[in-house]
Structures are given as C-alpha cells and as structure tokens.
Structure 1
Amino acid sequence: RDVAYISTEFKNKVILSKNQNGKEQLKPEPISNYNHFMSGINRQDQMNSYYPFSRKTIRWYKKIGIHIIQMLLMNSFYLYNQYHIGTKLSLYDYRLSVLGELLPKHPKPRNLSFNAFPFPKIHGEGKNGRTIRKRCQLCYSKKLRKDTSYFCPECPNQPSLCHEPCFKNFHQKKP
C-alpha cells in the first residue's frame, strides 16, 4: 500500500528490509525505521483492543485514567512473562489473577438495607369509603396514640405500624 511521509531525520534513501516471512523488500529508510521501532507500540495497542473499556458516557479524565491502568497491566504482563520461571500466562489469565489479588478474599457482610425488610401495605377502605386506620403497635407500647393505615403483611398477627420510623425499627428489633 502507498504511504506518504515527511522526514527531516533521514535522507530519501531506499534500503532492503525483511518482512515477517523473511522476504526482502525495498523500502524507504523512514518507513523501515518506523516499522522497526514502533512494532512494540502497535502490538500493545492491539493487545489492549482485546479488552476495550471505552464508553461514550465516561468523562475524558476517567478514560485517560483507565487507559493508563490498561497500559500498566500490559507492561506488568510483559515483565511477568519475561521474568517468571514456569508456564507463561495468557493476558486473560493474567488480568484475572491481578483482579483476584486486588479484590478482597472474603467480602464484608453488608448491613441490611431498607429494601431487605418487607414492604408495608395499606389496610384498604372500609364500608364508608374511608381508609381503615389502626393504632401503631410500636407507638402503643411507648404509650403514644398514633393511628396508621399501614401494616406488615409478612409478620404474624399483621401488626399495624407507622410507615416511617416504626416499621423499620420494629423489623430491626426482631432477631
């Protein structure tokens, strides 16, 4: 294929160079030097393209950070395979082993979030079309009178409870 170039470093001289198959070809000196010195960079870009992480929605500075991390992984992969005695790892296996070392072995147990509790339901409407309201059992145990239209459908006796503070507190007290 035809390639255009401008060079102030090299003279416009044609030299013999060997391709991958060992076949000799005539090439301009700048093209031959470019291919010789840039092959490692092109290989690294090719290896990084196997695991792309470019999204349109990520901010530019995050893309740069992720690209730097990918370059660090590639460089450490080459060093590992060069100096490690034994079988060489594939890039995929190496990335998995690095992730395995970075992530915790035993994740911390998460605190129960509000979503882990059962959802309160509304009692419904009575004969006259009004919403049925009953006393909140937690407030009643504190000698307060609060009427609520919510109850817990999953608890025995289906206790009536205030929606906001009492429902959560009631379910946290249970073992």
Structure 2
Amino acid sequence: MTAELRLVGKLKLKKYETKTYRHTNNTLVLAWQDKRDVVMLSNFYNNDTETISRRGKDRQINIQKPTVICQYNIYNGGVDQADHYIASYKFSRKSLKWWRKLFFWMLEVAIVNSFLLFNMNKQNHGEKTIQHRNFREILITELVGHVRNPMSLKRGRPSSVEKEERLNKHPAHPTKKSKDCAVCSNRKVPGGRKEILYYCKTCSK
C-alpha cells in the first residue's frame, strides 16, 4: 500500500484521466483529474465509472467519472458531519511523516464511529444519549483509568513523613520565623543548610 500511495503523489494526470491501483487486501487507490487531483481510498468500490454531462466551452460534453467519487458526492453530508466531530476535539499534531498523520486520522475516525455506535445502541434500548465530549471523557477514563500527575522528587535527605501523606498536596503556609527545609536542608555537609519561610500545618515541617 505504501508504494501505491507514493505513486499517486507523483502522478501527472490529464483532464478527466483516471489511474487506479489495487492492493492485495482488496483496497482501491484511485486518482482522478477534475479541476484538481482527487484521490480516493476505498475497500468497497471498484474502478467502475459513470457517464455524466458537463458544460464545455460551447456545448455539453459527456465524461467518465469514477463511481466512488459520484457516491462520495451523494453522501458527503455524513462525511462533513464526521469531519466536524473530528475537528471539535482534534488531538493530532503537525508532522512531516505522512504515515503518522494517517494513523492519528484513522484513530480519530475510530473514536467518532464508536461514539455514533454508542449512542445508536442507547437509542435502540430507549436510553438517553450522551454528548460527544462526555463520551471522550468516559473513553479516556476506560483506557487509562484514574491517575494522578507524577510529582518530581527533590534530592536531599529522606522525609520522615509517609509517602501518601506527602502526595496529598498540602498547601504551604507562611511563617514569620525561618526554619530548615524538611526536603533539601542538610546541616551535616558544608553549605547544606537551606532555610524557608513556609511550613506544612499537617506535617508540622
């Protein structure tokens, strides 16, 4: 498939000319020249064409247009809606690698399709549907679970406070009198003493 896609990018088609490539997994790559190059990728349609009428400079002319493009033009309303769903919460990033763009696009399409099927199933069971954003939040939670942002550990002597207690993000309170930092201060080494003007009420440090 990679070789076929590269060939399509190098094609120089004439007006209304069609080039097709068929991969071993029954996937069609089709390029057609209209006002510009139109490239289609399909695992359903073949390289059949339909005769349509176009207005020429001084008369009507009949041209051969690929069926896959004709069908796309008929049903592109659904495609536009899918593009709207993808654009609403798009997570892909710019990349010079074409395969990376294709991977993230296919992942986004899979998420949108799963959202539509999820709501369709709810409607069939008489249940209330959910919003697109809520579905993505549920999906993320199901994939990665409830996690907490990792905290960077500073170097210094080990804290006497239990780990779970220190990860509770207790707010630091100001104090008038400076005291040794419980994390990084070490009086046993030259210049190791570090003083701060904040302390934790829970830890008393």
Category of TM-score, reference length = shorter chain = 0.3 to 0.5
Structure having the higher Rg = 1
TM-score relative to the length of structure 2: 0.41
Select the structure that is richer in helix.
1
TM-score relative to the length of structure 1: 0.47
Select the structure that is richer in strand.
2
